Amino acid sequence: MIITPIASSSLANAYILDDGKSPLLIEAGVTLKKLKIASCFRLSSFGGCLISHSHMDHARAVGDLIDFGVDCYMTAETAAALEVFGHRVRIIEPLKQFVIGSWVVLPFPTEHDCPGSVGFLLASGSEKILFATDTAYLRYKFQGITHLLIESNYVREILDHNVENGIIDIGRKHRLVKSHFSLENLAEMLKANDWGRLEECWLLHLSRDNSNEGYMKKTVAGILGKPVYVAKE
């Protein structure tokens, strides 16, 4: 399993999962040109693109991907918000499993300020991937995960310091708390699950102002005891 982050931030998000059979895109928050380059100009061979929700930092290139002939999988709410239609738009439902090539995919609801937002549990052969971003918490427990791609957006202490010092306003804080995964909530989730089969963890969508990459990586590695990487642009 090869995981390639193309972009991971508040500005843009996109990732490639390649099981050697049916490579997939997750998110399309960068330009079509950047997706083509990142895929070594093999986009037409991809099984499709999974879109977690309709915010542009995750869905900017959806229309271009559809025009290019790539199937894009998303909830009905996401498709309506993006105003995309046609046979390349594959509507999915939370907690209803579907197949893309060699992948079995189960979308699940996430806690974000965007209707129809989902995360994805993906399986290919013996590999099992959990992808979750832009969510205040996860309501489910998971077993047998081999690759974890998970948001770690902010550290509460840093966020509080930035509010107190006028770096960000209180309104933005309230939005972050209700719609994004803090390091502290992530730590609780990690401690509540079994990671015996885990091979690697990727931390996604770190806030530019409210995170600390080294501290987050060290904290998560201390809990998991497995390799931890930070996805960047």
Q: Strand (E) positions, the chain?
A: 2-8, 13-18, 24-26, 48-50, 72-75, 89-92, 98-100, 103-109, 118-124, 127-132, 147-151, 200-204, 228-230
Q: Collect all residues with Cβ–Cβ distance below 8 Å to 219 and sequence separation of at least 6.
A: 183, 187
How many domains, the chain?
A: 1
The two three-digit tokens of residue 168, written as one number: 């960000």
**d(C-alpha 150, C-alpha 36), whole Å:** 24
Residues 193-211 have pLDDT tens digits of 999 999 999 999 999 999 9
49-79 pLDDT per residue, tens: 999 999 999 999 999 999 999 999 999 999 9
Query: The whole model's pTM is what?
Result: 0.96
Residue 233 has pLDDT above 80, yes or no: no
CA torsion through residues 213, 141, 149, 36, sign: negative
174 conformational bin, left if phi > 0, alpha if psi -120 to 50, beta if neither? alpha
Rounded-to-integer distance, Cα 23 and Cα 101, Å: 9
Q: How far apart are CA 22 and CA 45, in angstroms?
A: 8
CA distances from 75 to 25, 107, 116, 119, 151 (A): 16, 9, 6, 11, 20
Range of 141's domain?
Answer: 2-230
What's 200's domain CATH number?
Answer: 3.60.15.10
